[in-house]
Structure 1
């Protein structure tokens, strides 16, 4: 009989391109993954990997077996999440990946409610950019992702994942109270061409959203500081050195010297949503956490 763990190892090697990458994804050593592959070859009677330079490639029969393996593993996950689970008593371990402001604004309150309830759910959370969150849920290293999709930067989601939108999260311009724009009720990008900005790092979705705001003007914002932490953005604005674009979700109360001004034409906004594998759609644990997040969103996000 073919070993499920060995099939999992082969599918991971195919998906991630190497034994080392598969081992990192699965949380095993490369030698442990290699042993699983050898076990699979012994059980099937044929080679599933072949040497190619310093790496490996799947053989034709290896690709076919990996394809079967993915289907079997998906059906097994669905079985465990439905028929073998008690829908009235969600329990077990749930791995969540979320962007940082949602950790503060949504995940924190959700964990608080779980801790004071009788639900036996062990939830672990890792903060990641939405693209990484989608990748983790897609490859099985996470069960639920909390993601965002800016109106100017679409998020790609594989077909085997389900995406459900929770809310719209609008971003504001943050300036020092002595800034010339501080008394404005709203501002447009054309008024901000000469401003000096702090932004999330190159490649981050929020950074791309800032760049897209100015794209129609044929300009690039003058970004002077790159930092992933929005708390640093607020601190920089408080010093009067820079301006920032900041979403409202999970935003800490602003200091007295920092003013938030709505932006228009366009209004910078992102959709906040949840992704999980289709095979987990009926999971009691997923259903319970999604329900809590919906309730918290209705209560906290305007």
Structure 2
């Protein structure tokens, strides 16, 4: 009989591209993962992996088995949800991945709401950029994620994930109150060509949104500081050393010296979504969290 853990190991290697990364994702040692793969190879009568540089590639047989294995694991998860869950009592651990402003603006209020209800759902939360969150949910490392995509930057989501639209968030340009544009109320990208910017690091989806804001004009913004924390951006705007593009979701009350200007031409909006695996569609805990997040989103 095929060992479920061995199937999980092969699927994890397929998703992460190496035995070491697969081991980290599952919480096992690389040697344990290698032994599970060898067990499958013995049953399959041939190699499932082949070395490629510092990583590995799946053989044709390995690819076929990992794809079938992924479907089996999804069906097993769905069976567990159906058999073990009590629809009237949402409970159990749920692993959430969410971008930082959603952690402040949505997950924080969610935890507060669950505690007031005396809920038996136990949340474990990790803050990550949307692309990493999608990967975590798809690979089974997280159960539910809050993600976003800017109107200028698409976010690919695999077919095995359910998507629930939650809310739309807008980003404003923040300037010091003594800035020449501070009294304008709204600005366009063309008004900001000579500004020094605070930006999230290269590779983050918010950084790409800022870059694309100027792309149609054939220039790149001048970035003075790269930092993933919007609170740092706000603090530096307060010092008058630059401007920043900061979303409204999860944003604290701005300091007296910082003015938010509505951005037009192009407006920067991001759609906030909930994602989870289709195999968890019947989970009372997941459905309760989705309903709670929808309720919270109406107040943001």
- Report what 2:292 is aligned to: 292
1:52 — aligned with what? 51
Secondary structure of 2:194's aligned partner = coil
The structural deviation recorded for 1:2 is 1.2
Q: Who is 2:122 aligned against?
A: 122
Does the 8 Å CA contact 1:92/1:120 hold for their aligned counterparts?
yes
Match of 2:260 in 1: 260
Q: 1:168, 1:235 → 2: CA distance? A: 25
Secondary structure of 1:116's counterpart equals helix
Q: Is contact 2:49-2:56 (8 Å) kept?
A: yes
Q: What is the aligned partner in structure 2 of residue 135 from structure 1? A: 135
In 1: Cα distance, 2:101 partner to 2:265 partner: 24
The SS at the match of 2:155 is coil
Could you report, residue by residue, the CA deviation over 1:146-198 in whole angstroms, capped at 9, with x for unpaired residues? 01110001111111111111111011110101001111121111111111111
**What CA deviation, in whole Å up to 9, does each residue of 1:237-290 have, x standing for no partner?**
000110001000000111100011111112111111111111111211111111
Q: CA deviation at 1:83?
A: 3.6
The offset of 1:49, in angstroms, is 3.0
Unmatched runs of 5 consecutive residues or more in structure 1: none
* SS of residue in 1 equivalent to 2:84: coil
Give the distance between the partners of 1:51 and 1:248, measured in 2 at CA: 48
Number of residue-to-residue matches in the alignment: 299
Q: Map 1:209-288 onto structure 2 (within 5 A).
A: 209-288=209-288
Mean Cα deviation higher: 212-221 or 148-157? 212-221
Assess, with a 3 A threshold, how the Cα gap between structure 1 residues 59 and 156 changes in structure 2: closer, same or farther.
closer
Q: How does 1:11-90 map to 2 (within 5 A)?
A: 11-42=11-42, 44=43, 46-52=45-51, 56-90=56-90
- Give, in angstroms, the shift of residue 56 of structure 1: 4.2
Q: Is the 8 A contact 1:145 1:274 kept in 2?
A: yes
Stretches of structure 2 that go unaligned for 5 or more consecutive residues are none
Moved more, 237-246 or 81-90: 81-90
TM-score, length of structure 2 as denominator length: 0.95
Contact 1:49–1:56 (8 Å) recurs in 2: no
Partner SS, residue 24 of structure 2: helix
Per-residue CA deviation, residues 106-155 of structure 1 (Å, 9 max, x unaligned), is 00000111122232111100000000000111111011110111000111
Q: Please report how far the alpha carbon of residue 45 of structure 1 lies from its aligned counterpart in structure 2 after TM superposition.
A: 5.5
CA distance in 2, matches of 1:185, 1:50: 59
Q: Calculate the aligned-residue CA RMSD, in Å.
A: 1.5
1:146 is aligned to 146
